[in-house]
Amino acid sequence: MDLKLSDRVAVVTGASKGIGLAVTRTLLLEGAKVVAASRKSTMELDELAGENLVHVAVDLMNPEAPEQVVAQAVESFGGLDILVNNAGGPPPGIALPRTSFLDASDADWHAMFEFNLFAVVRAIRAAIPRLLERGGGSIINISSGNGRQPSPINVDYGAAKAGINNLTKVLTEEYGPQGIRVNTISPGGVRTAWWTEEGGAADIIAARAGADRDAVLDTLAPQMMNMVTGKLVDPQEIADVVALLASPRSASTTGADFVVDGGFLKSL
């Protein structure tokens, strides 16, 4: 199926690995031009190099970074049609999971909201005028099942993602009539660097549970989250939904939350 993304210009944050890398690769395969934002590149991102890909090395904890990324899209490709706010998770220097509300200090809360919510707000603020110049476009915010499922585990992260869900609805009401569609995707546990990197969630849980990291990734983590599929989500599964929401074929889809979580969420 032709998603009609050829020559459309996209910004993808957190693009060097995990979900963001899968999104970048998928949009490029669909013919889009992509500005990939991340603190640094990776070998996997470098392998995608070509005339339709520009990498911008930015730290989204810097309030000026989102505007710089959007400006690069305009400079390199002449405009902007798609914004994928994917960057999120543990801010630099913070390890998750936490297990209690009391585990997070004021500084932890501030950093979590800076990275997971305020950076998104700034990116959208920078993108909207550019999207309007093109007659509209698509904003896709990567949220989380934790934004809808209250839990003492990573409570600050869940609160920030709940803010994204609310923001998405507000933007839909204000800018939908002007042709900008805004949607969220709520993953469950996804097999990304958050889990797999040394010192990441798999290692933290393994140490607490007296298990090995492979058992955590393959069995224990999905069981802990009560994922009915029994496995962590593949980043490509998120990327495929991003591509569909970015496409003009989803012209009447806005203000929606797409759950790709292996059955983590149980509520209606």
In this structure, the strands spanning 137-142 and 180-187 are: parallel
How is residue 38 written in tokens? 């991340």
**190, 235 in Cβ contact below 8 A?**
yes
Q: Which of 21-30, 167-176, 200-209 has the lowest mean pLDDT?
A: 200-209
∠ CA 79-164-146, rounded to 5°: 135
- What domain range is 203 assigned to? 191-232
**Residue 158 and residue 244 share a domain:** yes
Residue whose token pair is 């607490």: 208
Indicate the range of 100-109, 143-152, 216-225 predicted with least confidence.
216-225
Choosing from 77, 118, 157, 195, which is the catalytic residue?
A: 157
Q: What is the chain's Cα-based Rg?
A: 18
Together in a domain, 121 and 249: yes
Could you tell me if residue 1 is inside a domain? no
Helix (H/G/I), strand (E/B), else coil: 113: helix
Mean pLDDT value across residues 43-54: 97
For residue 252, is it within any domain? yes
Residue 118 lies in a domain: yes
Q: Of 18, 64, 19, 60, nearest to 38 (Cα)? A: 60
Asked whether residue 180 falls in the same domain as residue 69, the answer is yes
Q: Is 175 a catalytic residue?
A: no
Burial class of residue 39 (count of CB atoms within 10 Å of its CB; 0-12, 13-18, 19+):
middle
Please report whether residue 144 resides in a domain.
Answer: yes
Q: What is the mean pLDDT of the chain?
A: 94
Most confident of 143-147, 171-175, 210-214, 230-234: 171-175
**What mean pLDDT do residues 39-62 have?**
97
The residue with greater pLDDT, 206 or 133, is 133
217 compared with 176, residue with greater pLDDT: 176
Residues 86 and 51 in one domain: yes
Domain count along the chain: 2
Model pLDDT, residue 248: 97
**Are residues 124 and 85 in contact, defined by beta-carbon separation less than 8 angstroms?**
yes
Residues 199, 178 share a domain? no
Residue 1 has a pLDDT of 86
218 pLDDT more than 90: no
User: Does the residue 4 lie in any domain?
Assistant: no
36, 60: one domain: yes
Per the domain annotation, does 265 fall within a domain? no
Same domain, 121 and 250: yes
pLDDT confidence of residue 151: 84
Upper half-sphere CA count for residue 192 (Cβ side, 13 Å): 26
In a domain, 73, yes or no: yes
Length of the chain: 268
The CATH code of the domain that includes 163 is: 3.40.50.720
Over residues 70-98, the pLDDT tens digits come to 999 999 999 999 999 999 998 988 888 88
Are 180 and 224 found together in one domain?
no
String of DSSP letters for 40-52: S--HHHHTT-STT
DSSP 233: B
pLDDT in tens, 117-158: 999 999 999 999 999 999 999 999 999 999 999 888 889 999
| Confidence check: pLDDT of 268 > 80 | no
- In a shared domain, residues 127 and 212: no
Same domain, 176 and 214: no
Cis amide bond preceding 97, omega within 30 = yes
215 and 116, same structural domain? Answer: no
Interval 51-72 mean pLDDT: 98
Q: Does residue 256 fall inside a structural domain? A: yes
Does the pLDDT at position 207 exceed 90?
no
Report whether pLDDT(65) > 90: yes
Residue 234 carries which DSSP code?
Answer: P
Residues 29 and 116 in one domain: yes
Locate the DSSP E strands across 155-256.
Answer: 180-187
